[in-house]
Structure 1
Amino acid sequence: MTVTDPCTADQQPEPTTLAEACDLVHTPDLDISEDGMFGTYGGAHLPPQLAGPMREVAEAYAEARQDPEFYAEYARLLRDFVGRPSPLTPLERLSDELGGARIVLKREDLNHTGAHKINHCVGEALLAKRMGKTSLIAETGAGQHGVALATAAALVGLDCEIHMGAVDIAKQHPNVVRMRLLGTKVVSVEREGRSLKEAVDSAFAVYAANPEKYLFAIGSVVGPHPFPTIVRDFQAVVGRESRRQIVERYGRLPDAVIACVGGGSNAMGAFTAYLDDSDVRLIGVEPGGRSQAKGEHAMTMGKGVPGMLHGMSTLVLQDEEGTPDPVHSIASGLDYPGVGPQHARFKELGRVEYVAEDDAAVLDAFQRLSRTEGIVPALESSHAVAHALRIAPRLPKEQMLLVNLSGRGDKDVDYVAEKLGITGDADEVVH
């Protein structure tokens, strides 16, 4: 497949606003509606006391999106602080071993703080500063969003408060320490499932009580309008970069773009630049967990039904009364019973394929990428790697799979070692 657009990436004019940057690759599904709807999904379904604060955020963001000074500062920080553009890495040895399609990684794991989350956290911190807020508040699952937001808060001089499920705090101890070292208050959420959904609930409750102080810097393309749009726009840099890079290096577009999906921010960032390229498959990989029994997975796209969650209309894993189901994933950042409303719209349109990989396949992918290519991936990202490993051998060698490696696995090393029975002891002792 060759690029049909005669205007190659390096010939496109440099954008001067965030709106222009997001419009470089235009699709109707990226249009911002006043009520934040993507088809029948999205919106802002909120208690009365939050309607005003959400409207304030939406208006402030609409202005910032058109402001050249805001975009110039954001772009400068992505370059000088985050370290963008993140590189492409072809997996030569692993692709040779598989014997099928070639696999190329988009290395979001090499960003400062180790994941894609910093892309939108820097933007949210700048927006909070612009609005005169004194503190950022958010949830986190794997801790990557929490660390990124704590970092961005320290960068621009804001306070920060992160709510995290007690289960995830136990699994992600290194990230908890990093957040505290950065000066952030970490709140352990002990209620119900003690994971990501409960962390969102807890953070929203604190925000609702004091919206004048806080900006709720949500960590994915979820929640009430305008958050799915805000996070998508800041993450769209991933796809814009990869499209430019892959055209410059290979003279063509990839045959497929693959990314993990929990709430869906890294996948949205990876997919948006390719939505109008009908020959490029877009594949979102959900957590298949331990089994397909209720509470043993987080396959929202595969098994969810329309419902309401955290101020948005979307697909939800829930019971007959509308109560969200318990969920499980080996990756803390993916154990969420909902999904971003734009992803629900993509499924409805059939533009994105949503599949699942289970915990065993994810652990195998984690090890194979580490040992074959010297890259230790986050367990979240390992879902996308696992699916690439599954389908690459079935595809012709001339095909190319672009995998968004959304984060690095430093945070997961202790947990994976425990799961695999790997100790910190030496293999051999010499006296």
Structure 2
Amino acid sequence: MKNIDRSLLQASVMPDVNGYFGEYGGRFVPPMLEPLMQEIAEAYEQIKDDPVFIEELQYLQKHYTGRPSPLFHAKNLSNKLGGAQIFLKREDLNHTGAHKINHCLGEALLAKKMGKKKIIAETGAGQHGVALATAAALVGLDCDIYMGEVDIAKEHPNVVRMGILGARVIPATHGLKTLKEAVDAAFEAYLKDPVNQLYAIGSVVGPHPFPMMVRDFQSIVGREAKEQMLEMEGKLPDNLIACVGGGSNSIGLFSPFLEDLDVNIYGVEPAGTSFKTGDHAATLTLGKPGMIHGFKCYLLQDENGEPAAVNTVASGLDYPGVGPQHSYLKDIKRVTYESITDHEAIEAFFELSRTEGIIPALESAHAVAYAVKLAPKLGKEKTILVNLSGRGDKDVDYVVEKYGKEYGL
């Protein structure tokens, strides 16, 4: 059992009234946006306990998303590794193929109830964009998705899906043309008409209340997993593993377990091709506190203190910042943050595909890769629960083009 002050953990469950988790978070926005952000915060506080809203969301989670998502014992992989038993929380089986639909439905319903006409967002790998376009079509809102030109080329299948669903995909053409630039472009668009639009942030990042709100919608993952492990194994998992970019799938899994101190928790970042600046996106491993997109968090920074260039095989993890709650959990040592290289992620992508018949998203492959490293070090009586946050349909073309020959394709 970890020796952690439980009062620190209670502080991690909810931010304070100003949106801080310890020293991280907050709301640093232009004065014109402050009342609008406060309006969103107040609207969320009203609807989150509203029985009508809860009933509508739960209905859609069950009958539209397909929740609860299954918990699968990966026996083939576990036996091959010869150590701990690995379980997969199958968020890849959700409608739209990832965990993103969990908060997108909530944000779309909130926007509708607030009388907004459009929802806008950024996307990296395209999963948030697809999920938000799906939710917008369902509730009858216009939808604009900002996506870096590099990611548009890399994640073409998801770009097509967003168009079919009726969303406009707008390229971010400045800088590195990846996720950070997509966030920049979406914020600029939001500033032009914050009254009629809601910026539906795609992770537990951004100004308050978004880190809290997205966390709350995603925590259904951990609540379900907790019940499922108790039903299947009669005990909680010994270890939790999830990938971390902005951090929504991971905080969704971790939150319901934070006070269960016998459960070890691991967040896995992308180490890219090296730890040189611009070759990775290991924010919690190599970053330091800083400001980005209206909040304070651990941040990869260049020599001028500006957000540094980042790179990873997984577009959804390609962000120099991270959720403020993750930053706090690192500082109090409740969660251990590790990193996985591009090569290790690709190895895990093929390992899971060929051992269990499950093709994971490259983002999720980072979590699988760490489980592959950890399992042999533990006894067979131990368990590892991995959040399989998305499926790899979107990545197949890219992986085959870049790595196919190496794996006999």
TM over 0.5: yes
Answering whether residue 314 of structure 2 is matched by residue 331 of structure 1, we say yes
Cα distance, 1:422 vs structure 2: 4.7
Answering whether residue 181 of structure 2 is matched by residue 198 of structure 1, we say yes
Corresponding residue number in structure 1 for 2:74? 91
Distance, in Å, in 1 between the alignment partners of 2:214 and 2:250 is: 11
Cα distance, 1:31 vs structure 2: 2.3
Give the 4+ runs in structure 1 shifted more than 3 A: none
Corresponding residue number in structure 2 for 1:23? none
Answering whether residue 333 of structure 2 is matched by residue 353 of structure 1, we say no
Q: 2:295 aligns with which of 312, 316, 327?
A: 312
User: Secondary structure of the residue that 1:347 maps to in structure 2?
Assistant: helix
Answering whether residue 23 of structure 2 is matched by residue 40 of structure 1, we say yes
Cα distance, 1:40 vs structure 2: 0.3
Q: 2:250 aligns with which of 243, 255, 267?
A: 267
Distance, in Å, in 1 between the alignment partners of 2:33 and 2:49 is: 25
Distance, in Å, in 2 between the alignment partners of 1:313 and 1:156 is: 33
Listed one character per residue, the Cα deviations across residues 313-372 of structure 1 (whole Å, up to 9, x for unaligned) are 111101242211000010000010000000000001000000000000000000000001
Cα distance, 1:27 vs structure 2: 3.6
1:2-401 equivalences in 2 (<5 Å): 27-401=10-384
Distance, in Å, in 1 between the alignment partners of 2:404 and 2:13 is: 46
Cα distance, 1:213 vs structure 2: 1.2
Cα distance, 1:28 vs structure 2: 3.5
Distance, in Å, in 2 between the alignment partners of 1:100 and 1:420 is: 28
**Structure 1 vs Structure 2: percent identity of aligned residues?**
60
Letter of the 2:256 partner, please give it: A
Aligned residues: 401
Distance, in Å, in 2 between the alignment partners of 1:31 and 1:220 is: 16
* CA RMSD in angstroms, aligned pairs only: 1.3
Distance, in Å, in 1 between the alignment partners of 2:385 and 2:252 is: 13
Cα distance, 1:70 vs structure 2: 0.6
Cα distance, 1:421 vs structure 2: 3.1
Letter of the 2:289 partner, please give it: P
Letter of the 2:188 partner, please give it: A
Letter of the 1:154 partner, please give it: A
Letter of the 1:280 partner, please give it: V
Distance, in Å, in 1 between the alignment partners of 2:77 and 2:45 is: 44
Letter of the 1:38 partner, please give it: F
Distance, in Å, in 2 between the alignment partners of 1:27 and 1:79 is: 30
Letter of the 1:274 partner, please give it: F
Distance, in Å, in 1 between the alignment partners of 2:324 and 2:168 is: 30
Distance, in Å, in 1 between the alignment partners of 2:256 and 2:13 is: 10
Distance, in Å, in 2 between the alignment partners of 1:117 and 1:422 is: 32
Letter of the 2:271 partner, please give it: G
Letter of the 1:318 partner, please give it: Q
Letter of the 2:26 partner, please give it: G
Letter of the 1:295 partner, please give it: G
Distance, in Å, in 1 between the alignment partners of 2:69 and 2:275 is: 35
Is there any run of 5+ residues in structure 2 with no aligned partner, and where? 2-8
Corresponding residue number in structure 1 for 2:5? none
Cα distance, 1:34 vs structure 2: 1.4
Listed one character per residue, the Cα deviations across residues 367-400 of structure 1 (whole Å, up to 9, x for unaligned) are 0000010000000000000000011011101000
Distance, in Å, in 2 between the alignment partners of 1:81 and 1:205 is: 32
Distance, in Å, in 1 between the alignment partners of 2:38 and 2:72 is: 41
Letter of the 2:299 partner, please give it: V
Letter of the 1:52 partner, please give it: P
Letter of the 1:253 partner, please give it: L
Distance, in Å, in 2 between the alignment partners of 1:64 and 1:78 is: 16
Cα distance, 1:37 vs structure 2: 0.4
Letter of the 1:56 partner, please give it: E
8 Å contact from structure 2 (residues 14, 212) kept in 1: no
TM-score normalised by the chain length of structure 1: 0.92
Distance, in Å, in 2 between the alignment partners of 1:127 and 1:282 is: 31
Corresponding residue number in structure 2 for 1:10? none
8 Å contact from structure 2 (residues 11, 22) kept in 1: no
Listed one character per residue, the Cα deviations across residues 173-210 of structure 1 (whole Å, up to 9, x for unaligned) are 00000000000010011101100000000000110110
Is there any run of 5+ residues in structure 1 with no aligned partner, and where? 2-25
TM-score normalised by the chain length of structure 2: 0.96
User: Secondary structure of the residue that 2:237 maps to in structure 1?
Assistant: coil
